[in-house]
Amino acid sequence: MAAFQLNEKTALITGGASGIGKAIATVFAHQGASVYILDFNKEQGKQIADELSQQGFSATFEFCDVADEKQVVELVDRISENTKIDILVNNAGVAHVGNIENTTEADFDRIYSINIKGVFNCSKAVIKHMKGKSGVILNMASIAASVGISDRFAYSMSKGAVLTMTYSIAKDYITEGIRCNCISPARVHTPFVDGFIAKNYPDNQEEMFEKLSQTQPLGRMGKPEEIANLALYLASDEASFITGSDFPIDGGFIKLNG
């Protein structure tokens, strides 16, 4: 029997319309899961769901603002009326560059509402449907939750919260059949990275891309598919003995830098 199958499982993936979320939705669908792509971007989310459906996989797009508790609860309750929710991947998030002095209150509130409150809203909404049955909650943290990174004050704050929320959920619901873990990527080559470089370094994009790649000991950025494959393992029955853990996937950044 092939390993890491998600047949007859339903997975909700927030931020599933691009980057790492898109890769997770694609890998999960290919491994047999019925995936719900939850995202704020209607056009991209629907396009990905349609592409997967046309390939014969089960994929549905649902508009979702993870910062809106009422909307999240209504959506999760509606999905749960027709299917058992087996997996939640809290992937939706936004980045911010800046130290504490040049982080505005608006910046801070935006990071909090999506990166922290979004995880809270979605986890709380699914837990009531998973309790006493089984379920997997997988959160997307970051190496910024564990090590100091320059000019990432608000972002690091939010990912530190994601890490500790993971520990708390795992501890509180271990007897309810719910596993909760998180993944901590280093820099991953996503459309966000390309956009950041194009905006801030328009005249030397290739040079800056190489410089950012070399900040990791392996000498390159991660690929979204590599993060998705780790997520697949942690969501699968093969990882049934794992809960309350953080999994860095960082090209050696945490242990080998410095």
- Residues serving a catalytic function are 155
- 238 contacts: CB under 8 Å, gap ≥ 6: 3, 4
Cα separation, 19 vs 5, whole angstroms: 22
Q: What is the DSSP string of 18-38?
A: SHHHHHHHHHHHHTT-EEEEE
Q: What is the DSSP string of 186-231?
A: --B--HHHHHHHHHH-TT-HHHHHHHHHTTSTTSS-B-HHHHHHHH
Can you point out the beta strands (E) in 86-149?
87-90, 135-140
Owner of token pair 């939010």: 158
Check the CA dihedral 121-123-125-128 and report its sign.
Answer: negative
Closest to 157 (Cα-Cα) out of 117, 107, 112: 112
b or e along 83-96 (b: 16 or more beta carbons within 10 Å of the residue's beta carbon)?
eebbbbbbbbbbeb
How is the beta sheet containing 87-90 ordered, strand by strand? 59-63, 34-39, 10-14, 87-90, 135-140, 178-185, 246-249
* DSSP character at residue 150: T
Cα separation, 108 vs 112, whole angstroms: 6
